[in-house]
């Protein structure tokens, strides 16, 4: 017997208004032949590394909870990047660490736009106010404007993706340092793309106790493991450890991460190849009629089209090539973002772009 309609009202109306207003982070889930939309490393692990991962997983006790502080994985990460394992916590992707920071500090959260969507989505999901300042036309950071806004709204957290997603540029050292020195807020320098720029603010951690640095293993070949890293002053780590979920890095991710990071040379060689492919892709895009790529210190390239972004995106998709369509009113009007793929994927992308633009110019 069905209950009366008065009792079958969905509980969704009880969800907090801040959450009801949100739009979910959009991820295309259809299978595609050439996937260049999500800044993943295109290379599968070589057979010797896969063997090590398989052996490590075979030894793993999945009936037991994981090491709550993931000590061995932390040490492997610290060795890989040359950091201090004592000053870090790990997260289920850096996405989880972004959430931890907002949970700990609260809002208002201040971000330059355009930037990585999760800063705003996570802050709003936690019912925190979000303030924004525009980047300049060339996507550089106007430090004075950001500082002024931080003071005006009394920002508690500022997120600076450095290099920035989706624009690909790294904000000037001086601008970031000026922000660090002038605000009374936690300044999160998100170095998700550090491995492709080689430049970091981490050496300045001692000088700037309000700085938090994020990195991730996702962009260098381990996106499926979901492991992110946060480095900060010990007292900040202590506070964040209070709100971090106890077993946030599962046993399989810990075991596989440790096994893969032992193959440092393999990972570094893949990163070097991607950096050189980025240069090749940038040059090829520059030569295309009506396309303007933006310089990139990441593993993706943002480019502007002459008004045909959505048409290009759709035609590429019909050919089985998925990139990211960012075309919307505002600073990303007519813009698309392509992740640097394996050499043959980049060749195919450029070949298809040439074909699409040729049909454009012939009417
Ligand atoms: C700037 C930035 N930070 C963080 C992330 C999230 O990375 P993770 O896979 O570690 O959650 C991304 C992913 O695209 C990103 O672009």
Residue among 89, 92, 94 to mutate when testing ligand 1 (max atoms within 8 A of CB):
94
Q: Going by CA atoms, what residue is nearest to atom 2 of ligand 1?
A: 192
Q: What is the DSSP string of 285-338?
A: HHTSTT-EEPP-SSSEEEEE-SS-HHHHHHHHHHTTEE-EE---SSTTTTEEEE
Q: Do 202 and 327 have their domain in common?
A: no
Q: Going by CA atoms, what residue is nearest to atom 7 of ligand 1?
A: 94
Structural domain includes residue 254: yes
Instruction: Write the CB contacts of 38 (distance below 8 Å, at least 6 apart in sequence).
Output: 27, 223, 324, 339
Counting beta carbons within 10 angstroms of the beta carbon of residue 347, is it exposed (0 to 12), middle (13 to 18) or buried (19 or more)?
Answer: middle
Q: Do 83 and 166 have their domain in common?
A: yes
Q: Do 68 and 195 have their domain in common?
A: yes
Structural domain includes residue 3: no
pLDDT of amino acid 305 = 95
In whole angstroms, give the CA distance from residue 296 to residue 165: 10
pLDDT of amino acid 262 = 96
Structural domain includes residue 2: no
Structural domain includes residue 142: yes
Q: Do 233 and 311 have their domain in common?
A: no
C-alpha of residue 102 to centroid of ligand 1, in Å: 15
Q: Do 67 and 204 have their domain in common?
A: yes
**Domain end call among 208, 228, 262:** 262
Whole domain around residue 323: which residue ranges? Answer: 14-44+265-361
pLDDT of amino acid 11 = 85
For the chain, give the mean pLDDT.
Answer: 94
Smallest CA-to-CA distance from 203 within 79, 74, 78, 83 is with 83
pLDDT of amino acid 181 = 96
C-alpha to C-alpha distances, 332 to 119, 191, 310, 321, nearest whole angstrom: 18, 22, 12, 21
pLDDT of amino acid 7 = 59
Atom of ligand 1 lying closest to residue 92 CA: 11
Q: Do 228 and 307 have their domain in common?
A: no
- Each residue's pLDDT tens digit, 122-152: 999 999 999 999 999 999 999 999 999 999 9
At residue 9 the predicted structure's pLDDT band, cuts being 50, 70 and 90, is: confident
For the record, the structure tokens of 99 come out as 């959430």
pTM for the predicted model, two decimal places? 0.94
pLDDT of amino acid 177 = 96
Q: Do 133 and 254 have their domain in common?
A: yes
Atom of ligand 1 lying closest to residue 94 CA: 10
C-alpha of residue 246 to centroid of ligand 1, in Å: 22
C-alpha of residue 216 to centroid of ligand 1, in Å: 7
Structural domain includes residue 22: yes
Q: Do 29 and 144 have their domain in common?
A: no
- Return the H-helix or E-strand segment holding 58: helix 47-58
At residue 358 the predicted structure's pLDDT band, cuts being 50, 70 and 90, is: confident
pLDDT of amino acid 182 = 97
pLDDT of amino acid 1 = 47
Residue 20 pLDDT more than 90?
no
In whole angstroms, give the CA distance from residue 363 to residue 166: 31
How many domains is the chain partitioned into structurally? 2
Do 243 and 103 form a contact (C-beta atoms < 8 A)?
Answer: yes
**Maximum Cα interatomic distance, the chain, rounded to a whole number of Å:** 69
Residue range 305-332: mean pLDDT, rounded: 94
Do 99 and 244 form a contact (C-beta atoms < 8 A)?
Answer: no
C-alpha of residue 94 to centroid of ligand 1, in Å: 6
- Each residue's pLDDT tens digit, 104-126: 999 999 999 999 999 999 999 99
**Domain end call among 245, 262, 279:** 262
Q: Do 286 and 240 have their domain in common?
A: no
Q: Do 249 and 276 have their domain in common?
A: no
In whole angstroms, give the CA distance from residue 22 to residue 30: 23
Q: Do 127 and 273 have their domain in common?
A: no
**Domain end call among 228, 262, 296:** 262
SS3 label, residue 132: strand
C-alpha of residue 56 to centroid of ligand 1, in Å: 26
Q: Do 333 and 226 have their domain in common?
A: no
The backbone torsions φ and ψ at residue 131, rounded to the nearest 5 degrees and listed phi first, read: -110, 150
For the record, the structure tokens of 11 come out as 């509980």
Atom of ligand 1 lying closest to residue 161 CA: 1
At residue 10 the predicted structure's pLDDT band, cuts being 50, 70 and 90, is: confident
Atom of ligand 1 lying closest to residue 219 CA: 9
Residue among 40, 163, 169, 192 to mutate when testing ligand 1 (max atoms within 8 A of CB):
192
In whole angstroms, give the CA distance from residue 62 to residue 225: 16
- Which protein residues are within 6 Å of ligand 1, measured from CB? 39, 93-95, 116, 161, 165, 190, 192, 216, 218, 223, 228
CATH of the domain at 38: 3.90.1150.10
Do 56 and 234 form a contact (C-beta atoms < 8 A)?
Answer: no
At residue 6 the predicted structure's pLDDT band, cuts being 50, 70 and 90, is: low
CATH of the domain at 139: 3.40.640.10
Residue range 183-205: mean pLDDT, rounded: 96
At residue 320 the predicted structure's pLDDT band, cuts being 50, 70 and 90, is: very high
Structural domain includes residue 315: yes
Ranges 3-12, 128-137, 352-361: which has the least confidence:
3-12
Structural domain includes residue 18: yes
Structural domain includes residue 159: yes
- Each residue's pLDDT tens digit, 264-318: 999 999 999 999 999 999 999 999 999 999 999 999 999 999 988 999 999 999 9
């Amino acid at each position: 017997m069905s209950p009366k309609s008065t009792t079958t009202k969905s509980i969704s109306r009880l969800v907090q208004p801040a959450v009801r207003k949100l739009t979910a982070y959009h991820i295309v889930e259809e299978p595609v032949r050439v996937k260049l939309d999500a800044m993943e490393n295109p290379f599968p692990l070589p057979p010797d590394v896969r063997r090590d991962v398989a052996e490590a997983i075979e030894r793993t006790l999945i009936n037991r909870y994981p090491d709550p502080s993931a000590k061995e994985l932390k040490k492997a990460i610290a060795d890989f990047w040359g950091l201090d394992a004592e000053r870090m916590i790990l997260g289920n992707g850096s996405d989880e660490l972004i959430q931890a920071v907002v949970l700990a500090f609260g809002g208002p959260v201040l971000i330059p736009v355009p930037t990585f969507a999760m800063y705003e989505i996570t802050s709003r999901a936690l019912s925190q106010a979000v303030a924004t300042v525009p980047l300049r036309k060339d996507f550089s950071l106007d430090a004075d404007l950001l500082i002024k806004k931080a003071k005006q709204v009394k920002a508690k957290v500022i997120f600076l993706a450095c290099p920035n997603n989706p624009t690909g540029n790294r904000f000037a050292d001086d601008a970031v340092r000026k922000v660090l020195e002038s605000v009374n807020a936690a300044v999160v320098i998100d170095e998700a793309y550090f491995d492709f720029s080689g430049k970091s603010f981490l050496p300045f951690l001692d000088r700037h106790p309000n700085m938090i640095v994020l990195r991730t293993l996702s962009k260098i070949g381990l996106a499926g493991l979901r492991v992110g890293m946060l480095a900060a002053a010990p007292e900040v780590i202590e506070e964040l450890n209070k709100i971090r979920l106890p077993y946030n890095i599962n046993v399989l991710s810990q075991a596989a991460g440790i096994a893969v990071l032992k193959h440092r040379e393999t990972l570094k060689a893949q990163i070097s190849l991607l950096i050189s492919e980025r240069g090749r892709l940038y040059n090829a895009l520059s030569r295309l009629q009506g396309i303007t790529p933006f310089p990139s210190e990441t593993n993706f390239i943002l480019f502007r089209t002459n008004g045909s972004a959505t048409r290009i995106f759709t035609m590429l998709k019909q050919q089985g090539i998925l990139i990211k369509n960012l075309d919307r009113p505002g600073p990303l009007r007519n813009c698309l973002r392509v992740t640097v793929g394996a050499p043959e994927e980049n060749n195919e992308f450029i070949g298809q772009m040439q074909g699409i633009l040729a049909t454009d110019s012939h009417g």
